[in-house]
Structure formats: structure tokens, C-alpha cells
Structure 1
Amino acid sequence: MEKVKPCTAQYDRTVYSSFRTRDILTRGFDEIQILLRYLYMNEDHAIIFDNGLCKLEIKMTPSMDLTARNLNFPDFPATHRPIELPELLGIIEQLEETPAVEYPDSFANRWEEVKTICASTMVQNYIKK
């Protein structure tokens, strides 16, 4: 009998595109909130992910629109584009497998880095009155 390898992905992509699941309810929305907060905190905050065709840099504008810039064509301006919730979950999965960018010696992956930066900024904002 062949041993089945455990799935390393947090979310089953074939499921979350058409069904409601417990992992999305209990973790998925919290993680989407962290990602959106990170992008909102600073105009310079960006994430890079591979959509299968190219690498895209995602940022948030001051008016809270998400923009994507195709890194294959760096001279072209970023464009506003809707990003669906399942796509955000897929981006988070990729960030879990991507090396840290801002503090490469301090974090195991980009997602841990994003979560920590977001958490420390949120603490500072809760303390300020």
C-alpha cells in the first residue's frame, strides 16, 4: 500500500473555491485580515506572488484599492484589480513558502514576517491614545 504524503497547504484550493469550510471560518478570515492590514499600514508595504503566468507586486492605495504590478514589465504602472478571497488565501500560502524579505535573518518565511510586522504595529496603535 502506497503511503499518502500529507498536504503542506493550509487550505485545500479545490474546496475553498466552492464550499464553506471550517478552516476558512476559523483561520482563513483572520489571516486575510492580517494581510490586508499589513498592506494598509504603509504605502511601501507590498507582497510579491506568482500567479502562474508572472510575478505580481500587490500594494494598497491610500483609498484602499489593491493594485497589481506585473514585474515582467516594471515600466508599466500598477493597475487596480479585484482580488477575490480565495486568491488572498492562495497568496498567503505562497508567502508561507517564500523567504523573508525585510528581515531575512529573523523569520522563517515571508508570512511570519508579515504577521509579526502587523502585530507589532497594531500593538503600538492600541497603546497610543
Structure 2
Amino acid sequence: MTKIDNCILETRDELFSFEDYSTLMQALGLGYTITIDNGLAKIKIFMDKDYNLKGLNLNFPHLPPYNYNEEMTFPNVILGVIPQLKKQPAIDFPNTFKNRWEELKTQTLDTVHFNRCK
């Protein structure tokens, strides 16, 4: 394998961030939801059966969810969504995980591992 001269990844953290993006997409595909603050409102994000990311504005929960695919780009997830999840408390196991991201990541990776072992 040859190294590409114009590699844009400068640090190991940048390289590993691809794993975090994949993990978040797997979590949403497994039916987990996340809630983020986009600066205007809290948005509950989930994935539908057609693999579309949907956002539900929690200020107006009576309105139908809207397409959130364009907002969930790689840079937005790595620089915005995951850092927010790291600041949120764990939901399902608050005494076990220090934040929502660690909880979601562990649950997702455990599920993926279990399914690979079948």
C-alpha cells in the first residue's frame, strides 16, 4: 500500500473519527435516537426504514419530522454532534457511563460485535 502525498488527515484523532462517524450511523440504524441543540432548538434525530436521517424539532413536536440527511455530514457529526453527546449525561445506564456518547458507543459496538459472532 502506498501513502497518498496529499493526505488530509494530520492526526490519529482525525483518522479515528471515521470510526466514530460509523458508530453513530450504526447506532441510529439500530434504533437509538440522539438529541442535539442546533442553536435554535433541541432536535431529536433518528433513522427511518429507508436509511434517511430525520429530525424532530422538540419545540414543535406536533409537526412531522423533517429530512436531516444534509445536516449530518461527516464534519458536522465529528465537530458538532459527537462533542454535544460527550457533554450529555447517559440515559439508559447513568451510573455506568460518564456521558451519552460513551453509552451509545458501547451499546452499539457490543451489538455489532455480538452480531458478527453469530
TM-score (norm 1): 0.78
Q: Identity over aligned residues, as a percent? A: 35
Tell me the SS of whatever aligns to 2:81: helix
Note the 1:1-129 alignment, pairs <5 A.
Answer: 20-23=8-11, 25-42=14-31, 45-81=32-68, 82=70, 83-89=72-78, 90-128=80-118
Which residue of structure 2 aligns with residue 10 of structure 1? none
Flag structure 1 segments of 5+ consecutive residues without an equivalent: 1-19
TM-score (norm 2): 0.84
Shift of 1:22: 2.7
- RMSD of equivalent CA atoms: 1.3
Structure 1: which 4+ aligned runs deviate by more than 4 Å? Answer: none
Letter in 1 for 2:34: I
Shift of 1:77: 1.2
Tell me the SS of whatever aligns to 1:49: strand
Letter in 1 for 2:109: A
Paired with 1:88 and 1:61, the residues of 2 have a C-alpha distance of 18
Shift of 1:107: 0.5
Paired with 2:77 and 2:16, the residues of 1 have a C-alpha distance of 13
